[in-house]
Structure 1
Amino acid sequence: MDKRDFIRSGQHASVIGLGTWQLGADWGNVDEKEALAVLNAAAESGVTFFDTADVYGDGRSEETIAGFMRGRPDLHVMVATKMGRRVDQIPENYVLDNFRSWNDRSRRNLGVDRLDLVQLHCPPTPVYSSDAVYDALDTLVEEERIAAYGVSVETCDEALAAIARPNVASVQIILNPFRMKPLRQVLPAAREAGVGIIARVPLASGLLSGKYTKDTVFAADDHRTYNRHGEAFDQGETFSGVDFATGVEAAAEFSALVPEGYTPAQLALRWIVAQPGVTTVIPGARSPEQAHANAEAAKLPELSQETFTAIRDLYDRRIKSQVEGKW
């Protein structure tokens, strides 16, 4: 699989990575055997970038990745984790002592002395503009606890604030055919600055797979049930902030645009990969088959201009008014 660069850190990632939120919690149950099978399928398909967080299953996702990597010493996978969501979300908690403590825990969970990439996990907005926060992150690099750092953001303004900082290696942001606002300013700014873009929620929490109807019911412990209106965390993380009924209808239109040889999910991933400035996209997978299919999207033929235009038209007609004013 093609690899792209995190220019500021000199690191590389497969253009399609693997998001591992679902291996920890909040997407229904995935047992350890299934989780390891997903990781193996992704690696065998050429994926060299795993994204996780200390809060996914309260460390379970990190520990599962560590167990997998111990059994596959032949692999060279960049593992990015996140920190900051295990405490009250106030700027005062984003200080060096806490960073060291969170970092120590993730290093133990992942079984490494130095973490490849650590991202602030959608902290309060003022954190992105704090000189002290970036000084503390620089200290973690100097202490060789981490190789590089980035941020995960909810809004385009937060992304632009982070990109302006000289040592931010990456910005993780929601980007998919139902969330196009980052194309206007964030991706061009990141390209200009040499900041990597990690595209998350690429399938709009599964909407863009085309598998759901208005009557689809998700498990009680699935965030697509309990966070549909932002009850637990930012609403934009669930269905990209799109109303479920609207999203199902729009997803049906999206599925009608799928070229021969593609699935709807692969079309969404191929569209993201084609956006200038994207370093890697991190779909989740709950089965080896999904992991293989996601990775295959990188090898599919380029999309036609007609398809790009039709996807843009769908977004403008059905989705834009719901999401652009919020994120």
Structure 2
Amino acid sequence: MRFRTFGKTGIKISEISLGTWQLGSKWGDPFDQEVAYNTLKAAIATDINVFDTADVYQGGLSEKTIGKYIKTLKEKPFIITKTGRRLEKQTKEGYSEENLRKFIDDSRKNLDMDTLDMVLLHCPPTDVYYMPEVFQILDILKVEGKIKHYGVSVERIEEGLKAMDYDGIDAIEIIFNMFRLRPIEEFFVKALKNNVGIIVRVPLASGLLTGKYTTKTTFGKDDHRTFNRNGEAFDKGETFSGVSFEKGLKAVEALKKEFKTQDLTQIALRWVLMFDAVSTVIPGASKPEYVYQNANAALLPPLTKVQMQAVRDIYDMYIKDPVHYLW
């Protein structure tokens, strides 16, 4: 594993980390405690030292499982958790001091940690970024010793740019992959200037960039790739990065021709790591073997200029219009 400095925190974190939305299950399937434990063990075995979770993942079971597991370790991984999605309705009024304190105290209890390593506001409404009092609450929680670092997980570039107006922002989590290129522009430039850590989520476009799907592929009824393709349940950009499934498959076929026999999953992760602004990428893994596969991506040689241009050309041909302008 290779490591990068996590923005102004100064912490060295693994280039590939573990996203735990799917920990111990596939989307919509029952939670399996044993599989979850083995997945976390696989991450530690590959020198991954960051787990990314949230209070809503598996109804809190993701946090609780991580909290129980890390108690068995001498050297603890850096835990990033997210807060805010437990609100019944996403409104700016929901991001009150009372609610934030309760959510963060609940995460501290779930993870069995007196002080949380990092808390991210979990894709709050855009209006929240224009409420300095919310970020002042987080500053107070730092002084009180309940959190060490904080940041935001964003849906839109504009939200990330606005978040960086606040000095206390240490990291921003954002969707970035071969089908979502806009962050390369102004957002990455400002993040580097402000020394803000960048956590890349949805790096495989909900599995599209594994290259394993076809027009005959189906997903379970409780899988967001079934029920959220048009943003019926939450932001459309979370599912296949907002790309239509059919168009995404065409772009994937073009990528396969470019990279031939290479594992497209690993190529897609290595592509993300070609950008200096990126601190870490957090592919999810529902079982241990996926952790090992993902971790190996960090060991691949850099992509060539020709390959990087090929990805851009495929994006421009199949994806850019309209995806580039939506988030």
SS at match of 1:117: strand
AA partner of residue 270 (structure 1): R
SS at match of 2:279: strand
User: Is the CA contact 2:24–2:32 (under 8 Å) kept in the aligned structure 1?
Assistant: no
Alignment partner of 1:33 is 2:34: yes
> 1:26: how far off?
7.1
Q: Deviations over 1:168-226 (max 9, x none)?
A: 00000000000000000111100000100000000000000000011111111111111
Determine the structure 2 residue equivalent to 1:89.
Answer: 90
SS at match of 1:206: helix
Alignment partner of 1:207 is 2:212: no
AA partner of residue 254 (structure 1): L
Determine the structure 2 residue equivalent to 1:284.
Answer: 284
Determine the structure 2 residue equivalent to 1:159.
Answer: 160
Q: Deviations over 1:96-123 (max 9, x none)?
A: 1211100010011101101000000000
Tell me how far apart the structure 2 counterparts of residues 211 and 132 of structure 1 sit (CA, whole Å): 45
Q: Aligned residues: percent identity?
A: 47
Task: Figure out how many residues of one structure are paired with residues of the other and give that number.
Answer: 325
> 1:25: how far off?
6.8
> 1:12: how far off?
2.9
> 1:259: how far off?
6.3
Determine the structure 2 residue equivalent to 1:305.
Answer: 305
User: Is the CA contact 1:26–1:223 (under 8 Å) kept in the aligned structure 2?
Assistant: no
SS at match of 1:37: helix
Determine the structure 2 residue equivalent to 1:173.
Answer: 174
Tell me how far apart the structure 1 counterparts of residues 243 and 270 of structure 2 sit (CA, whole Å): 21
> 1:40: how far off?
1.0
Classify 1:25/1:128 alpha carbon distance in 2 versus 1 (closer, same or farther; 3 Å): farther
> 1:255: how far off?
2.0
SS at match of 1:92: helix
Determine the structure 1 residue equivalent to 2:221.
Answer: 220
TM-score normalised by structure 2 residue count: 0.96
> 1:258: how far off?
2.2
RMSD: 1.3
In structure 2, list runs of 5 or more residues that go unmatched. none
1:35-184 to 2 correspondence within 5 Å?
Answer: 35-71=36-72, 73-87=73-87, 88-184=89-185
Q: Deviations over 1:33-90 (max 9, x none)?
A: 111111111111111111000011121111111122123x223310100000111200
SS at match of 2:259: coil
Classify 1:4/1:212 alpha carbon distance in 2 versus 1 (closer, same or farther; 3 Å): same
Determine the structure 1 residue equivalent to 2:8.
Answer: 8
1:245-324 to 2 correspondence within 5 Å?
Answer: 245-258=246-259, 262-324=262-324
AA partner of residue 19 (structure 1): G
Query: Is the deviation greater in 274-283 or in 3-12?
Result: 3-12
User: Is the CA contact 1:8–1:167 (under 8 Å) kept in the aligned structure 2?
Assistant: no
Query: Is the deviation greater in 61-70 or in 133-142?
Result: 61-70
Tell me how far apart the structure 2 counterparts of residues 165 and 14 of structure 1 sit (CA, whole Å): 26
Tell me how far apart the structure 2 counterparts of residues 164 and 84 of structure 1 sit (CA, whole Å): 20
AA partner of residue 186 (structure 1): F
In structure 1, list runs of 5 or more residues that go unmatched. none
Tell me how far apart the structure 1 counterparts of residues 181 and 18 of structure 2 sit (CA, whole Å): 21
